[in-house]
Amino acid sequence: MTRDTEARDPLWWCVALTAAFTALAAVRLGIPSKPYFDEIHYLPAARALLAGSDWLNREHPMFAKEVLAAGIGLFGDHPWAWRLSSLLASALALFAAMRALWLASLSRFATIAYGVLLATGFHLFVHARIAMLDAVMVAMLAVSFWQCAAAIRAPEHGRRSLAIAGAAMGLALAAKWNAIPLAPLPGIAFLAARLHAAGWSGLWVRRGAPVPGIRLTEAAVWLGVLPLAVYAATYLPAFMIAPDQAKGGLIGLHQMMLQMQESVIKPHPYQSTWTDWIINRRAIWYLYEPVDGAQRGVLLIGNPLTMLLGLPAMLWCLWAAFARRRMDALAVATIYLVSLGFWIVASKPIQFYYHYFVPSMALLAGLALALGALRRRGWGWIAWTVLAGSAALFAWFWPILSSAPLGGERAFEQWMWIASWR
């Protein structure tokens, strides 16, 4: 790929990488054939929603559980059907994240590199194969940022793109509250860009960045009011099932949910903190037991190469944002710092490595941009080596990412490079 091809839209690369990822993640999707890890919480909640009998797992919002219920309702109560919604959501997350980076950077190489890094970064793959809430949340976040970037690149379709972005952000919030710190970012960015372009008159005029033709008041509707309305609408099934809960309204409901979130204080063997996450120190075994005729395991950890290389890449993004005025680098660094910073100050006492899912996606976007910069400076061999290394490590860890049959009870030891992964 030469610099002459850099400006060509890598749409078909995005499609091909998404298709390959989906095919790989579908392997043994129905194994284990019983619920594992947090599926034991979310599957009963989805079944109860389908039956209209109860509203379970009330500490989490509704949308992702409604999606899980839809998969079971359409395809039956089978293991692969439990996880199909996560598989499709993860595929959408991969495609939308690549499209977002392309529209933000117009770098063909960085976009393709990002697809490779995300597909082989472990987080997205593992969550594509389990009936949890996270894949739905990251898919909606990726769609929202994709459409925000699309509105800036094609302002003639800005109104439609901002509406989709707002609706997707509302659904991300309604999937899991991890999206909360990112929800205000599109609106804040719109306000900052408009004031920078038009001064104080930007509060009422249509002209100027980031989306000419859209007034600030209209942007507030699409990026502020609409997400909240969509979020609230996802609770309608819950209120229909448990009308007594409706007496307190959404405010009373959320007070109860927040109290439930903060009440989990019992120590857990897999709990960790943000300092563990950024150095890839603490893994979680989603599964490790004899099941379906063999010893099998599913480990959540970040790709050991790219999770660490992403840290200096994020420092480069901060430098490029201020020294080179690169808005793509600024956006990526902001998403990383805000999504990680939320967990530094959050009042949730027990935290887990899967809370690093969203920051890790921004981290890999920063690494992709840094690799693109290295390639443009004539250091392309470094970029290709990192991509090859990420794919090689994904292949090495494949058995304990995909619930493959293992050699015995102690088979896990060959992948346990440090004691804290056990």
Tokens of 13: 């690369």
How far is 359 from 215, CA to CA, in rounded Å? Answer: 31
Q: What is the mean pLDDT of residues 316-336?
A: 97
Give the pLDDT of residue 249. 77
- 284: helix, strand or coil: strand
| Residue 96, pLDDT above cutoff 90 | yes
With DSSP H G I counted as helix, E B as strand and the rest as coil, what are the percentages for the chain, rounded to 5?
A: 70, 5, 25
SS3 letters for 153-220? Answer: HCHHHHHHHHHHHHHHHHHHHHHCHHHHHHCCHHHHHHHHHHHHHHHHHHHCCCCCCCCCCCCHHHHH
pLDDT tens digit sequence for 18-66? 999 999 999 999 999 999 999 999 999 999 999 988 888 888 999 999 9
What pLDDT, in 10s, does the model give residues 242-298?
Answer: 777 666 778 888 888 888 877 766 777 888 999 999 999 999 999 999 999 999 999
pLDDT at 111 over 90: yes
Taking each continuous run of H as one helix and of E as one strand, the counts in the chain are 18, 2
| Strand stretches in 250-355, DSSP E | 284-291, 294-300
CA dist 214 and 206 (Å) reads 5
> What is the pLDDT, as a whole number, of residue 264?
66
Residue 2 has pLDDT above 80, yes or no: no
**Quick one: average pLDDT of 384-401?**
98
Residue 408: which residues within 8 A CB-CB, separation 6 or more?
295
Burial class, 20, CB count within 10 angstroms (exposed 0-12 / middle 13-18 / buried 19+): middle
Given pLDDT bands bounded at 50, 70 and 90, which one contains residue 364?
very high
How many domains are there within the chain? Answer: 1
The domain containing residue 82 runs over which residues? 3-421
Q: Which two tokens stand for residue 269?
A: 């063997």
**Confidence (pLDDT) at 355:** 95
Q: How confident is the model at residue 202 (pLDDT cuts 50, 70, 90)?
A: confident
